[in-house]
Structure formats: structure tokens, C-alpha cells
């Protein structure tokens, strides 16, 4: 259970208990680690594991009475020890309409890429310390699966179910250049097909390793690049402890614009940004927000993923706002629906008007003519809903 999936986890546990009141619900994950009191308040959670649990889960299922309700799990020494997941353990879609589109036990398209979509992770834990994120408080040490194991698992999924595209759900895929270079060497050669994939990076590491970034796009079909730009304002980026600045963001944007233009001229599908943008950050001024929207308009090919800042427990800024009584978050709205009002004192009316195009004149005032023409009035209001 991650903090933003808490409502779904709660609902799933409640439904399970209605159907099978004598069954056991075993929960774990990030929210169990950073907010155990909230997990303990849910009667339907019978066992709650904090931290990693790969070395615990089998014994827990066999001998649940040997464990207290809340306990600390044991993780694998290496992600190389992880076996392949039997995805047929996942429940089938409930009705024929969902089954027809879902491609069980893989996943539907959902904007990521051609279906069936195989979701995987090659690593876990992001080493950065952004104050809006509670990832670092979950598992302190990063691990990564061997490249060969990742490719073997993808080939096995393809041979059994057929794979159309991949979502690499690592918190930060674009790190560890040695691993990435091995991926460039082996994935195009050993995979059944060079499937397109979605994966995450950071603007500063793109600026640090631009040649590696371009090679991944051109040689491994990394065609949907998720970057948490968050803001176009240096002041806000410092407040968030993002360790990126405006120059980093614009470097990454201009680089992908150039790569995309060249690939389009070659008759190839150009890569796109999945651009994570955060508005409604405490202390953000209208000019900060205008700079963010100008940055977004600099991108030639982009899926804008815009949300309002959410003060999750376990994050430095979230803990501060919760302690000050300024959080509007509750167990019912931990979700990632981006249009919720999450913090007291933030003028959400301004942001709704901004995204609806009311301040386009201010946003466009410092843009080139071609950048002004990108998008149209109300474009980003729709992006907020779809984030």
C-alpha cells in the first residue's frame, strides 16, 4: 500500500472481508512504513508488514500466528534473488467488457503504449531527497535487477502472453550509467522485440549524461520519458529540495525536442515527455506558476501530467504541514486524483483559472511565437483531470 493507493487498498480489504470474513488480509508497503498508526486503525488489515518483505512473505502466509499484527519485514539481499512473478495469481477482470480490453494477466494500454502492456521494475528506491516524496523513508538502500534477468522475464512474458509495450515502474530508471550501458548493449540484441517503453528520469542526470540519454532513446526505443520537472521556478525547485534548476529542466527539454525533430525527419516515431508538473505548492506565487506553464509550452511533444501538491506522511514537507494542521489529506483522499484541494491556505481558484487559460497573456508574454501556439485555451485543465 503506497500512500496514494491507500483508499484503493482500504476498499479492497473491506470488499475481501465482506466476501470472506474469516480470511486474512496481509498488507505492507510504503504507507505501512511511514504511517503505521493509520494502517492499525483499519480493522480489516490483519497483518501489517513494514519495510521490504521478500524474505518474510512465504513464512507469513504459512504461519501467520507467529507474527504480531505490526512487524518489520526482511528484504532479499539482492534483487537478483527475486523470482519471476506468476501474474496469473492476479484476479481476472470482473466482467466481459473489462476482460475484452484488459489483456489479463498483462495490462491495457491506458496511454502508456501498445497493449498488452507489461509492467516491471528494474530497481527500487530513489536516492534523492525531495521534500514532497516519502520514498526514501521506505527502504533506505537502492537495489537493481541484473539486465539479463529483466530481459529473460520480458521474453518469457512475451512468449506466454504477447507483449506490446513496457512500463518500467522504477522510481528512477535513468541512474547508474554502468547498468544503463549494459541495457543498451543487451536489450536490442537479446529481447524478442525492442518494445517501446515508459520510464522515469531526472533533468539534472539528463544534463549530466546527455549522450547516454540519447543512446537509450535511439537504440532501446525509450519513447515515453517521464521526468518530474515539478516547477519552472528555481525558487520553488529549491524549496522542494529537487536538486535540479531551471537550466537543467530546459536542457532536457531542448535535447528531447532536438532528438524528436531529427527522428521525425528520419521517418521515425519521435519520443515524447510524460511531464510531471506540480502546482499549489505552499509558498508558490503566480509568477512561479506562470514560469512553470512557460516551461511546459517549451516542450514540442508532451503528455502533461499536472497535479496539485499533496502533503503525504513520511515526506519532509508533508510531515511539517501535517504537524502545523495545514493538511487537508485524509484516508479518503490520499489518492492521486489531481484536482483535490490538499493544503489549507492555497488559492486553488487561481490554479483552476490558470489551467483554464485565463492567464494565457501572462504566460505567453515571454514565449516565442511558436511556443505561444502550442496548446490552446483550456488544454491544461483537461491534463489536470487526466494526470
Listed residues 13, 37, 72: the one ending a domain = 72
Q: Taking 60 as the threshold, does the pLDDT of residue 384 lie above it?
A: no
What tens digit of pLDDT does each residue of 255-302 get?
999 999 999 999 999 999 999 999 999 999 999 999 999 999 999 999
Q: How far from the centroid of its chain's Cα atoms is residue 184's Cα?
A: 23
Q: What pLDDT band is residue 382 in, cutting at 50, 70 and 90?
A: low
Instruction: Please report, for the domain that includes residue 299, its CATH number.
Output: 3.80.30.20
What tens digit of pLDDT does each residue of 119-138 get?
999 998 788 888 888 776 55
Distance in angstroms between the alpha carbons of the first and the last residue of the chain: 20
Three cell numbers at 139?
527502504
Same domain assignment for residues 41 and 167? no
Listed residues 72, 102, 127: the one ending a domain = 72
pTM of the model: 0.89
Same domain assignment for residues 197 and 280? yes
Average pLDDT, whole number, for the chain? 90
For the packed helices 210-220 and 246-265, what is the interaxial angle rounded to 10 degrees? Answer: 30
CA distance 149 to 329: 40
Listed residues 19, 37, 72: the one ending a domain = 72
Same domain assignment for residues 174 and 283? yes
Same domain assignment for residues 61 and 153? no
Same domain assignment for residues 308 and 364? yes
Structural domain containing residue 27: 3-72
Question: How many domains does the chain fold into?
Answer: 2
| Residue that wins the pLDDT comparison between 370 and 19 | 19
Q: Taking 70 as the threshold, does the pLDDT of residue 162 lie above it?
A: yes
What tens digit of pLDDT does each residue of 188-241 get?
999 999 999 999 999 999 999 999 999 999 999 999 999 999 999 999 999 999
pLDDT of residue 182: 98
pLDDT of residue 387: 40
Same domain assignment for residues 61 and 129? no
Amino acid at each position: 500500500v503506497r500512500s496514494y493507493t491507500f483508499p484503493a487498498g482500504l476498499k479492497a480489504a473491506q470488499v475481501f472481508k465482506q466476501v470472506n470474513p474469516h480470511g486474512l488480509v496481509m498488507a505492507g508497503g510504503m504507507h505501512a512504513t511511514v504511517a503505521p498508526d493509520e494502517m492499525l486503525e483499519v480493522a480489516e488489515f490483519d497483518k501489517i508488514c513494514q519495510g521490504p518483505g521478500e524474505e518474510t512473505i512465504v513464512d507469513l502466509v504459512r504461519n501467520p500466528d507467529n507474527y504480531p499484527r505490526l512487524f518489520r519485514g526482511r528484504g532479499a539481499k539482492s534483487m537478483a534473488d527475486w523470482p519471476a512473478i506468476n501474474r496469473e495469481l492476479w484476479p481476472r477482470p470482473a466482467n466481459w467488457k473489462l476482460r475484452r480490453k484488459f489483456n489479463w494477466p498483462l495490462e491495457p494500454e491506458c496511454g502508456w503504449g501498445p497493449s498488452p502492456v507489461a509492467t516491471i521494475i528494474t530497481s527500487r528506491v530513489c536516492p534523492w531527497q525531495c521534500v514532497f516524496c516519502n520514498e526514501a523513508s521506505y527502504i533506505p538502500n537502492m537495489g537493481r535487477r541484473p539486465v539479463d534477468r529483466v530481459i529473460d522475464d520480458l521474453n518469457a512474458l512475451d512468449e506466454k502472453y504477447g507483449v506490446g509495450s513496457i512500463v518500467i515502474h522504477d522510481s528512477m530508471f535513468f541512474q547508474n550509467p554502468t547498468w544503463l550501458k549494459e541495457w543498451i548493449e543487451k536489450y536490442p540484441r537479446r529481447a524478442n522485440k525492442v518494445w517501446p517503453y515508459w520510464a522515469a528520469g531526472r533533468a539534472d542526470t539528463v544534463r549530466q549524461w546527455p549522450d547516454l540519454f540519447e543512446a537509450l532513446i535511439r537504440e532501446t526505443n525509450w519513447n515515453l520519458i517521464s521526468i518530474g520537472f515539478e516547477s519552472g521556478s528555481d525558487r520553488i525547485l529549491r524549496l522542494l529540495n529537487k536538486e535540479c534548476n531551471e537550466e537543467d529542466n530546459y536542457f532536457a527539454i531542448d535535447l528531447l525536442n532536438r532528438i524528436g525533430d531529427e527522428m521525425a525527419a528520419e521517418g521515425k516515431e519521435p519520443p515524447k515527455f510524460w511531464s510531471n508538473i506540480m502546482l499549489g505548492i505552499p509558498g508558490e506565487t503566480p509568477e512561479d506558476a506562470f514560469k512553470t506553464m512557460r516551461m511546459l509550452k517549451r516542450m514540442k511533444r508532451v503528455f502533461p501530467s499536472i497535479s496539485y501538491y499533496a502533503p503525504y506522511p513520511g515526506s519532509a514537507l508533508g510531515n511539517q504541514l501535517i504537524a502545523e494542521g495545514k493538511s487537508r489529506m485524509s484516508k479518503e483522499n490520499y489518492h492521486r486524483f489531481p484536482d483535490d484541494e490538499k493544503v489549507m491556505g492555497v488559492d486553488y481558484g487561481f490554479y483552476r483559472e490558470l489551467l483554464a487559460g485565463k492567464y494565457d497573456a501572462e504566460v505567453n508574454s515571454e514565449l516565442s511565437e511558436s511556443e505561444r501556439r502550442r496548446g490552446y485555451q483550456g488544454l491544461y485543465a483537461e491534463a489536470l483531470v487526466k494526470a
